[in-house]
Amino acid sequence: MLPKKWKDRITELLPHDADITPFTLPLFPLNTILFPGGVLALKIFEQRYMDMAKRCLQDQSLFGVCLIKEGAEVAAPVVPQMVGTMARIDTWDMPQLGVLNARAIGVQRFQILEYETEADGLLVARAVKVPLEKSFPLPPEHAPCATVLQQILAHVGATKFEPPFNFEDGVWVSYRLAEILPIKSSAKQSMLEMNDTEVRLNVLHKFLAQQGLST
């Protein structure tokens, strides 16, 4: 049973029948947002994150990517947003001593219940998983969202996205557009926390229309 202090922090992201078993998750706070299924290029050089990446590779375990609410990426203590995305390291290389380049893939959203700072400065959270959004056929009225996304992919290259490319699925289209469009981080965070694909698509479609990219 969850302590009351944790129950009070569970948001509407979690349905009543969701698995709310807490687990431990190392955090990598950044000035960017990762969505499930998204690709994140990382350049790791701080020792705390080098050690974290090494453990994740050895154990094939995940780490949590979350937007920084207060603070900076390097050195200083930070306050993370309470909802982020678990990630796995897909590929990596070390072009020079002390620098690790990694390609991470978003797996599933999580919500932080509480976190603490370890001696080396790494944030470690007690968290619960946010259930995966169910596949949602892209509504015909939002077809322009898929069209714009296809145009973006052709421009930036397929490596920016992780296959399979599912332009007929509303969840996939909304996640990919949300992560790649030039939208404020606060708005992207709100879309990450949304559990309603159609609402997210409505927001994105409106943004595209304002930019003259769709009707």
pTM for this predicted structure = 0.91
What is the span of the domain harbouring residue 151?
A: 140-210
% of the chain residues with pLDDT over 70: 90
Q: Are residues 114 and 9 in the same domain?
A: yes
Q: Is 190 inside any structural domain?
A: yes
- Judgement on whether residues 106 and 83 belong to the same structural domain of the protein: yes
Segment 9-21 shows an average pLDDT of: 68
Domain end, chosen from 107, 129, 151, is at 129
Number of domains in the chain: 2
* 78 and 150 assigned to the same domain: no
Average pLDDT over residues 130-147: 94
- Kindly report the CA angle at 84 between 83 and 85, in degrees rounded to 5? 140
- Are 124 and 144 members of one domain? no
Give the model confidence (pLDDT) of 169-209 as tens digits. 999 999 999 999 999 999 999 999 998 999 999 999 999 99
42 shares its domain with 81: yes
| Token representation of residue 83 | 């909802």
* Same domain? 179 vs 110: no
Q: pLDDT-based confidence at 15, cuts 50/70/90?
A: low
pLDDT in tens, 81-133: 999 999 999 999 988 888 999 999 999 999 999 999 999 999 999 999 999 99
Task: Pick the range with the lowest mean pLDDT from 55-59, 76-80, 88-92, 117-121.
Answer: 76-80
Report the CATH number at residue 148.
Answer: 1.10.4060.10
Judge if 171 and 110 occupy the same domain: no
Using CA atoms, how far residue 70 sits from 6, 98, 140, 190, in Å, is: 22, 27, 40, 16
Query: How far, in Å, CA of 64 to CA of 184, rounded?
Result: 21
Contacts of 37 (CB under 8 A, 6+ apart): 105, 106, 162, 172, 175, 176
Q: What is the overall mean pLDDT for the chain?
A: 91
- CATH number of the domain within which 8 lies: 2.30.130.40
